[in-house]
Structure 1
Amino acid sequence: MAIFGRRKPQSFTEFKETMRATPDADGVTRVFSRELWDDPKIGNFLREVGLAPDDARNILPTAEDYIALFAAAKQRLHERTEAFNRDMRARYGYCHAVPFLVIDHTIWDGEHGAFLYAQMKLIGFDEWNVLMLAGDVRTKEACDLAGHPGTVPAITEVMTKRVIDWKQRHDVALEAFGVTATGGQGITREQYEAEHDILRREIVDNVGWMKPRIISELLRIQG
């Protein structure tokens, strides 16, 4: 039987297709679309795990929401950079530091960026992903900071491979949850959320692990 003219999903591939980012008839884009809640099997499962169509966690942000989110994060980064430079100027008399993103803008703006900000709820401008590096030679010498290298292809390549791996691991967990949602033996919502949280923490921790190593390598190269 079709749901609003569409056949209900019979496989996880079809189930994921129903979760694509397109608005429902009321103009709201949901993780689990409204029509899924009218399916006896899937709708009952979603209610049993404590979800509802209009829960905040079931509503996907719009493009405008993301634009506002990124703008606010970029403003926070600007304010942190200004505060860092004021503090360093008070210590050393001069400082022009600029932010360096460990997972850089080419990744965030590329095909894997949505995984980081939409699924992992991470924003690249936030402190976890930022290093303050010298924007000029005077700052490098006066403040003992590594010089800002611009975009570093080797770092971008390493982080891209890691992001792809993290995304694949998330897809495995999402698929297991989707199998449960379509009536199979997968994992519960609680188990999926636990896997999600572990993965998110691993991403943040891995970037934190990278920071001192990036600084050390820059200082070695720059002398």
Structure 2
Amino acid sequence: MQEAVPMFGQKATFGKRQHSFAELKEMMRPTPDADGVTRVFSKELWDDPKVGPMLRELGFNPDDPRNISKTAEDYIAMFAAAKKRLEERAAAFNRDMTNRYGYCNAVPFLVIDHTIWDGEHGAFLYASLNLIGFDDWNVLMLAGDERTKELCGIAGHPGTVPAVSKAVHEFVVAWKERYERALEAYGVTAAGGQGRGISREQYEMEKDELRQEIIDKVGWMKPRIINELLRIQG
């Protein structure tokens, strides 16, 4: 898990010997502890006279959420639950619009689409910032057929929009770089190094601000996407 020990190769000192992040990774155990929980740093490491104190100095503990490893199955279950919630919201939207206009077949449109979530930057959004693409902040309801478009007055679903996908990809790359700079700056402080160090509180604040900025940016894009679709579709 990327955030568990944010040192980015910096040296952390315990006693007279220094351990690098690479060495600490060798101590990580992918198997569950005795209580069935898989931790980035196992409970045994917290009893180590050198490693344990260092981890505590960084502000972690064995049951810190950042020390609990999510498995592939965890993420699959999380995405499945989010998708189910989206399907339920879409069904409720269609029922409400049908009551108003007599018919509605609207389908979800993801502003940050599957090409991002399934690509190299997807894990940054869902693992580092806890953002899920099926949640409301990232979803527009658009007409799934011409009848819905005409009766309900909503833009037609275009499938994918290359221009939007390209713009979003550029935003995500910039957001990821900003996040990694904050994480590295925190790592400098945590490892006792020199340079632009920030505290854990500052790091968490920067991460929260970035998360909200992403949500706000997508919210800003939504009406502009709708207006452009309505313009193109006539």
* Same-fold status (TM-score > 0.5): yes
> Which residue is equivalent to 1:104?
113
Please give the alpha-carbon distance, in whole angstroms, between the structure 2 residues aligned to 1:211 and 1:54.
38
> Counterparts in 2 of 1:40-189, with a 5 A limit?
40=50, 43-185=52-194, 186-189=197-200
Secondary structure at the aligned position of 1:215 is classed as helix
**Following TM superposition, by how much is the alpha carbon of 1:116 offset from its aligned partner in structure 2, in angstroms?**
0.4
Unaligned residue ranges in structure 1 (runs of 5+): 1-8
Secondary structure at the aligned position of 1:53 is classed as coil
Give the AA of the match of 2:116: I
Unaligned residue ranges in structure 2 (runs of 5+): 1-8, 13-19
Please give the alpha-carbon distance, in whole angstroms, between the structure 2 residues aligned to 1:169 and 1:66.
24
1:150–1:107: structure 2 CA closer, same or farther, 3 Å change rule? Answer: same
Secondary structure at the aligned position of 2:108 is classed as strand
1:43–1:82: structure 2 CA closer, same or farther, 3 Å change rule? Answer: same
TM-score (norm 2): 0.82
TM-score (norm 1): 0.86
Please give the alpha-carbon distance, in whole angstroms, between the structure 1 residues aligned to 2:156 and 2:31.
52
Task: Provide the identity percentage.
Answer: 69
Give the AA of the match of 1:72: A
Aligned length: 212
Please give the alpha-carbon distance, in whole angstroms, between the structure 1 residues aligned to 2:182 and 2:62.
22
> Which residue is equivalent to 1:191?
202
- 1:4-35 Cα deviation digits (max 9, x unpaired): xxxxx5559x5378569x74454665455668
- The answer (yes or no) to whether the contact 1:46–1:181 under 8 Å persists in 2 is no
- The answer (yes or no) to whether the contact 2:30–2:40 under 8 Å persists in 1 is no
Q: Which moved more, 1:48-57 or 1:149-158?
A: 48-57
1:18–1:200: structure 2 CA closer, same or farther, 3 Å change rule? Answer: farther
- The answer (yes or no) to whether the contact 2:111–2:140 under 8 Å persists in 1 is yes
Please give the alpha-carbon distance, in whole angstroms, between the structure 2 residues aligned to 1:139 and 1:39.
66
Secondary structure at the aligned position of 1:131 is classed as strand
Please give the alpha-carbon distance, in whole angstroms, between the structure 2 residues aligned to 1:33 and 1:195.
28
Q: Root-mean-square deviation (CA), in Å?
A: 2.4
1:141–1:152: structure 2 CA closer, same or farther, 3 Å change rule? Answer: same
Secondary structure at the aligned position of 2:142 is classed as strand
1:196–1:18: structure 2 CA closer, same or farther, 3 Å change rule? Answer: farther
- The answer (yes or no) to whether the contact 2:145–2:156 under 8 Å persists in 1 is yes
> Counterparts in 2 of 1:180-219, with a 5 A limit?
180-185=189-194, 186-219=197-230
Q: Which has the higher helix share?
A: 1
Secondary structure at the aligned position of 2:185 is classed as helix
